[in-house]
Structure 1
Amino acid sequence: MSQLPKLRSDRAPLFSTAITHLQQLQVFPSSTIAQFYAQARWQYPKVQTYLQMLDYLRLLTLEYLQMQQTMQPISA
């Protein structure tokens, strides 16, 4: 049976900062990238897949950090 890593209370501000950053992060921060994404669908399908996976990884990381933040600190 594996144990979850201990969550130290001094990491709480780091989790909050990372969560806020990931929530505000935009995959398409400029209209140029958004236009390229829409137009490249047929010419560059791997680029589209890469950008989708990048956003998915952002969401997974966000979910993981939120779960870690809600865990109660474990005293040593």
Structure 2
Amino acid sequence: MFRDQLLIEASPRIPLQELREKFGFWRIALSLLINEMRLRRRYNAIAGLSDRMRRDMGLPLEERFPPPSRPSLWDIRF
């Protein structure tokens, strides 16, 4: 079987050239773009989950720091 594999030409240019001749450059580029967008949607992002959902799934809770407080004129003391 190894000898048979060596007889196969390993150049990827021929299949790509055949695809380009059959479908055209823009159709292939559009299909690659659509496929990439579909693959990106498959990944589950946990960044936007609330602490309650994280706790239900057994994930560590996200540390949220309070925003820094702005100084107020009422805090001025004489």
TM-score (norm 2): 0.33
Report 1 or 2 for greater relative contact order, CA contacts < 8 Å, sequence distance ≥ 6: 1
TM-score (norm 1): 0.34
Indicate the structure with greater helix content: 1
